[in-house]
Structure 1
Amino acid sequence: MHPNDRPLLAAAHQGDTSAVRGALAACAHVESRDDEGRTPLLPAARADRVDVAELLIAAGADPNARDTAGDTPWLAPGLTGSMPMLRALLPAGPDLSLTNRFGGTSLIPAAERGHVAYVRAVLRETGTGVDHVNRLGWTALLEAVILGDGGRAHQDTVELLITAGADPLFADHDGTTPLQHASRRGRDAIAGLPAATTRRVSAR
């Protein structure tokens, strides 16, 4: 390990832009790893330190570098919903097919959390598969319905997914569809979205 690798890792964890710049100038390895296998870009992405991430990416940081838990910098904005971090990472050429420890692409946790702007951008700009199934047997649509709170953000997320071609009849391992999950939870606004969305699309 280069003497400046640990300072670079510490600076990235702390979001210290000046210290990151100094460590890189002192020839620290941009792909150095901490005890959990994290490169400097991963904590920067998780903490939404776009300034730090941009410095690291300019130095050649890999958006696909996995830590020991299987997480990557590209997957982080799916959890946070950060559009600035999405914009910083996309030019670095992330592998959009990479999945997290649960077997989900970045779209699935974003849908679960109701990150509407992030979901919209990923669907429009990356070609990520809308009906990808994770290890739980859930698609982004199933996660948005099952784990979402049924509020406006999750309603908008569900509508975006259906408009993008998500199958509202794609059932989980128990044979329950997103519509059935929504009905059972009393989320009538979500349960009625497929028909309403279909009418709007047909009218265009």
Structure 2
Amino acid sequence: MALASATPSPTAAEPPRNCPLCPRLVSFRETWRAAEPSWNNAPVPSFGPQDGRLLIVGLAPGLRGANRTGRPFTGDYAGELLYDTLIRFGFATGRFEARPDDTLRLVDARLTNAVRCVPPENKPTTEEMRTCRPFLAATIGLLPRLSAIVALGKIAHDQVLAAHGEKLSHHKFGHGAVHRIGDLTLFDSYHCSRYNTNTGVLTPAMFHAVFAKVRAHIDALA
């Protein structure tokens, strides 16, 4: 499949299906398109209403999760804990069945990733994160009612800060930490990956505690 010839707009919130900006990710994407032609194998767009007051930022699509299904956090373990938590705290309705045509709908919340294409071994390079950052900045800028951001992991935390031109040294990542960034409040959480939950780095109770803070913050705005 031919790659797009034009460079994506730096103000676009979503990269095109054949985004050419990161050669390593393009090569990886093409390899998996050949191996699994029924998969999404493309930049994964943000999910949820654009008038939401909450944005949740992850790292990148999982190979057999969002890269396969085309919806953030759909198809791997991380989505099970995340979407269960969002339903629990009123940020989602319906039933999560790990496929994009289930009945799950987000409420007052939107999901995105700092890097939109799946990276080899789930590890984007520094340059790939920098290259994809304008899409994150545009996503944030297009949410008119945005008040809170949840960063899932340190990389997401750092990319949100960088998108705002903030110094990382002024806002240290820590699970449960809360930061003020202009008009926005940034909430930190360890990523809800299977590795973190299996090793006890993150428990469901710890994850719920973060979203309890977020829920209280959002409710106080009403």
Q: TM-score, normalised by structure 1?
A: 0.28
* Structure with greater proportional helix content: 1
* Structure with greater proportional strand content: 2
Question: Between Structure 1 and Structure 2, whose CA radius of gyration is higher?
Answer: 1
Q: Which structure would you say has the larger RCO, counting Cα contacts within 8 Å and 6 or more residues apart?
A: 2
Q: TM-score, normalised by structure 2?
A: 0.27
